[in-house]
Amino acid sequence: MNGNETTAAVAVKACGVERRFSHMRVLRGLDLELERGRTLSIFGSNGAGKTTFLNILAGLLRPDRGSVELFGETLPGSAELRRRIGVVGHEAFVYGDMSAYENLEYYSRLYKVEKTGRVEAILDEVGLRAAAKRPARTYSRGMLQRLALARAVLHEPELLLLDEPFTGLDPVGARLLSTLIGGLHEQGVTIILTVHDFERGLEVADDVVVLHRGRVGWRSAQELPDTAQMSEIYESTVGA
Amino acid sequence: MFALIWKDLILEARRRETVTSLFILGVLILLVFNFAIDIQSDNVAELAPGLLWASIVFSAMLGLSRTFLVERENGCMTALLIAPLDRGSLYIAKFSVNLLLMLVFEAMLLPIFILFFDLPVAGKLLNLIVVIFAGSIGLSSIGTLFALAALGTRARELMLPLIVLPLQVPLLIAAVKATSMVLDGASLGELGIWGTMLAAFGILFATVGWLTFEFISVD
């Protein structure tokens, strides 16, 4: 494999990433590499730096030290690089006074989605077609999370960042979200998600990382552990 | 950029928060001045411009502080910042929406202003509208630029006027002087330095906003 093939095969490459907020060092030299098409679950206690790392990948924060490359391009990247990324955050990023259809129509124009019928297709995919004309403020937490996922994948990103996507979902909603993430994985989308629930995180992942005090404390080998093993690994890594 | 303008206008059309609150505040200020100051036909051209611009600038401050509030809902500001959108375009879109809403508010306020102070505007109305339009470009351009910076602070309603009002002083002086001259019957060509200042202020801050919004919106 030559150098170009290596670059093309790597979706995310973070080297020595440091980030502090006033006096608090949140990321302390984080190194991570992820191949294209893989799904990575990041576990870690509150304050371990999961969301900060995702925000850096999304281009919302700049690292104080170190570098991050996405698809071979160093951050902060171009507008074209931002088009290749989809983000689901703690909030849905939708306007309550607009319907799901209008929200997606707006984002499709923002991302210059030219495919005809893409909004309708994605509404079908996430099961919101019937409620598409209702204002988003009338949606339940589960429906909002599906709308958030629809918004994030509307422009068919190559890298999808999900920050605790299962939080607040009932078991049915969580299962549906797992299925949707699985479908995107099959389409070759590189996915990074932060998650607290080992079962959900392991269910969708190819790789697992435990972040501890701003660094990678543990990374899975080829075989993923089961939930019980993961719990032991987590406890020994974070010292809980 | 047009998607952003379209979205902001749809939300304003549904909520009618900004224009309504600007209008109510603007009318209230005019009403207070109308009762507080004894305006006669011989001093109306001297006093009215100041009263008009005081009403516009305080109401506009209220509207400008709301510029990015709509984006705080469900974290939509984050979605804007990660979108493949040039930050300069984001500024131009927000500036355009602010200017449009301010013009709608002024179109509603101006007849009331003329009525309250019994202003003789026959033959001067078009020039008056041009001066108000030029002043509004300046107010919107500088207000939009700092509305995002103020959004990140705890007391954003207090911070925005504190930052913006001192910077707007030259614009307000030019706007009041130009309005006074227009009400005295001067043509636009006769506005001289005040007309130039009005136009230059808007162009300067719109350009600065477009070029620097990238740095204001990171982190």
Identify whether the C-beta of residue A56 lies closer than 8 Å to the C-beta of residue A13: no
Mean pLDDT per block of 10 residues along chain B (219 residues) reads: 89 85 89 83 82 91 82 84 87 93 93 87 90 94 86 74 88 94 89 92 90 75
With beta carbons under 8 A apart, name residues in chain A contacting B86: 79
Cα–Cα distance for residue pair B21/A27, rounded to 1 Å: 44
- Residue A50: C-alpha distances to residues A25, A164, A215, B219 (Å): 13, 9, 10, 17
Please report which residue ranges of A25-170 form alpha helices under DSSP H. Answer: 50-58, 79-83, 100-110, 118-125, 141-153
Q: Is the dihedral of CA B68, B70, B74, B79 positive or negative?
A: negative
**Look-up of token digits 């047009």:** B2
| Max Cα-Cα span within chain B | 57
CA distance A208 to A205: 7
pLDDT at B40: 78
| C-alpha B120 chain-centroid distance | 24
Q: What is the pLDDT of residue A157?
A: 92
B15 to chain A: which residues are within 8 Å by CB? 97
Q: Which long-range contacts (CB under 8 A, 24 or more apart) does A177-181 make?
A: A177/A145, A177/A146, A177/A149, A178/A203, A178/A204, A180/A125, A180/A126, A180/A146, A180/A149, A181/A39
Cα–Cα–Cα angle for A175, A170, A94, nearest 5°? 90
What is the pLDDT at residue A8?
Answer: 59
DSSP A181: H
Pick from B11, B85, B86: CB nearest A97? B11
Per-residue pLDDT, A54: 94
Q: Note whether A60 contacts B82, CB cutoff 8 Å.
A: yes
Q: What are phi and psi of A65, to 5 degrees?
A: -140, 160
Q: Among A76, A82, A94, select the one facing B74 at the smallest CB separation.
A: A94
The interface pTM score, or ipTM, of the predicted complex is 0.81
Q: Which two tokens stand for residue A157?
A: 């990103």
Say how many C-beta atoms besides its own lie within 10 A of residue B35's C-beta: 9
**Residue among A58, A90, A136 whose CB faces B82 most closely:** A58
Distance from CA of B41 to the nearest CA of A (A): 48
In chain B, how many H helices and how many E strands? 8, 0
User: What is the C-alpha separation between A11 and A16, in angstroms, rounded?
Assistant: 17
User: What is the pLDDT at residue B218?
Assistant: 63
Contact B31, B25 (CB under 8 A): no
Q: What is the 3-state secondary structure (H, E, C) of A1-50?
A: CCHHHHHHHEEEEEEEEEEEECCEEEEEEEEEEEECCCEEEEEECCCCCH
Residue A46 tokens read as: 């509150």
Which residue's structure tokens are 């602010």? Answer: B98
Name the token pair of A230: 């993961």
pLDDT in the model for residue A32: 92
CA angle A86, A89, A91 (to 5 degrees): 125
Longest CA–CA span in chain A (Å) reads 53
Does B74 contact A93 at a Cβ distance shorter than 8 Å?
A: yes
Best residue in A19, A20, A93 for a mutation probing chain B (most B CBs within 10 Å): A93
Model pLDDT, residue B133: 95
Buried b (16+ CB within 10 A) or exposed e, A183-222: ebbeeebbbbbbbebbebbbbbbbbbbbbbbbbbbbebee
What was the pLDDT predicted at B178? 95
**pLDDT tens for residues B86-109?**
888 889 999 999 999 999 999 999
**In contact, A215 and A30? CB cutoff 8 Å:** yes
Sheet containing A207-212: which strands, arranged edge to edge? A85-88, A159-163, A190-194, A39-44, A207-212, A215-219
Using CA atoms, how far apart are residues A180 and A234, in angstroms rounded to an integer? 26
What pLDDT, on a 0 to 100 scale, did the predictor assign at position A240? Answer: 53
3-state secondary structure of A194: strand
Cβ contact, residue pair B218, A76, below 8 Å = yes
Contact A165, A194 (CB under 8 A): no
Q: Which residues of A touch B217 (CB under 8 A)?
A: none
Q: List the single residue in A62, A82, A90 with the smallest CB-CB distance to B83.
A: A82
What does the alpha-carbon distance between residue B54 and residue B57 come to, in Å, rounded to a whole number? Answer: 5
CA distance A188 to A159: 9
B→A contacts (Cβ < 8 Å), by residue, are 2-4, 6-7, 10-11, 14-15, 70, 73-76, 78-79, 81-86, 218-219
pLDDT of residue A2: 45
Prediction pTM value: 0.83
pLDDT along chain A (240 residues), means of 10: 56 92 89 92 90 92 91 85 91 92 94 88 89 92 89 92 86 84 90 91 90 88 84 82
Pairing of strands A207-212, A215-219: antiparallel
Coil/strand/helix, residue A87: strand
pLDDT for position A100: 95
- Tracing tokens 């990324």 back to the chain, one arrives at A85
